[in-house]
Amino acid sequence: MDVRTVGVVGAGQMGSGIAHVFALAGFEVTLHDISQDALARALGTIGRNLDRQIARGRIAEPDKTAALARIATTTTLADLGRLDLIIEAATERETVKTAIFEDLLPHLRPETILTSNTSSISITRLASRTDRPERFMGLHFMNPVPVMQLVELIRGIATDEATYTTLLTVVERLGKTAAPAEDFPAFIVNRILMPMINEAVYTLYEGVGSVRSIDQSMRLGANHPMGPLELADFIGLDTCLAIMNVLHDGLADTKYRPCPLLTKYVEAGWLGRKTQRGFYDYRGETPVPTR
């Protein structure tokens, strides 16, 4: 299938980034959210991120103008039904995702491909709630989408070869690299990354090191570009906890048990950068460790 039109469900950090890269690559994009304010914020974010790419010499001003012209917005989910490819990028809760797909089904063309940007939830299970499990895949972008090169391609048990080949071509058209992954909890990147972050939280919880010393140790001792606690704040502590719970529940191994301190931060509503407090407090000019 030749994909020309793309719908993105969810205008948050991931959804806006996905819309950005598709529009820049020449696809016609329709961005959906239940909130008109969220759509307006997403367009503002996309514009600013395109400006950064211009400042770095990666694109020219006409590229920005053309990309923005390719993005339409809507608060009506049915408007996506006519498109070739739909990417669900809503919050990382299975009930929310399945409700979106169920609402979409009556409006879809038979050939429309459905995908989810889920970072951990079973693609096979999500696909089974639709009328087209053979045309359903995981299409997991990394954050921030305009910067990160990798896209995980996850087949469900029923995904057919034509769907996989089509999406492999789509990823190549975006100028990104596809990493095929099997449909097991958290796939590849988060299967490795989240336990590392969780172990960093345990290291803090057990008093082995402070927030600052843990992050500094991994930046300078392991050459990581960002410390694990700083990275957790960037991702969102609620997202980290949700993925650890998927790993723990799906693999039934105690090594994936979420750290109680991570749970406590989420219960406090300290979710990281998006709430201005997590392992760091971002309310001042410089982030300050909260522990």
12: CB partners within 8 A, 6+ apart: 33, 38, 42, 89, 91
* 92 annotated ligand binder: yes
Task: Give catalytic status of residue 117 as yes or no.
Answer: no
Longest Cα–Cα distance of the chain, Å, equals 56
Catalytic annotation present for 111: no
Going by their DSSP bridges, the two strands 136-141 and 150-155 should be labelled as antiparallel
Q: Where are the beta strands (DSSP E) in 48-145?
A: 71-74, 85-88, 113-116, 136-141
Q: Is 198 a catalytic residue?
A: no
Is 233 within any annotated ligand binding site? Answer: no
The C-alpha torsion from 79 through 9 and 84 to 17, rounded to 10°, is 130
Q: Pick the catalytic residue: 16, 116, 152, 198?
A: 152
How much of the chain is helix, strand and coil, in % rounded to 5?
50, 15, 35
Which is catalytic among the residues 16, 117, 190, 198? 190
143 appears as a binding residue in the annotation = yes
Q: Phi first, then psi: give them for residue 52, nearest 5 degrees.
A: -65, -40
Do residues 65 and 47 lie in contact, with contact meaning Cβ atoms separated by under 8 Å?
no
Catalytic residue among 49, 116, 119, 120: 119
Residue 86's nearest CA partner among 139, 34, 39 is 139
Separation between Cα atoms, residue 240 and residue 231, nearest integer Å: 10
Pairing, β 5-9 against β 85-88: parallel
Residue 97 annotated as part of some ligand binding site: yes
User: According to the annotation, is 14 in a ligand binding site?
Assistant: yes
Bridge partner residues of 5 (DSSP): 28
3-state SS class at 109: coil
Active-site position among 116, 140, 198, 230: 140
Helix ranges, 2-35 (H): 13-24
- Asked if 22 contacts 14 with a C-beta cutoff of 8 angstroms, the reply is no
Q: Is 158 annotated as a binding residue?
A: no
What is the DSSP pairing of strand 28-32 with strand 71-74? Answer: parallel
Q: Is 119 one of the catalytic residues?
A: yes
Active site residues: 119, 140, 152, 190
Binding residues for NAD(+): 10-15, 33, 92, 97, 119, 143, 274
Binding residues: 10-15, 33, 92, 97, 119, 143, 274
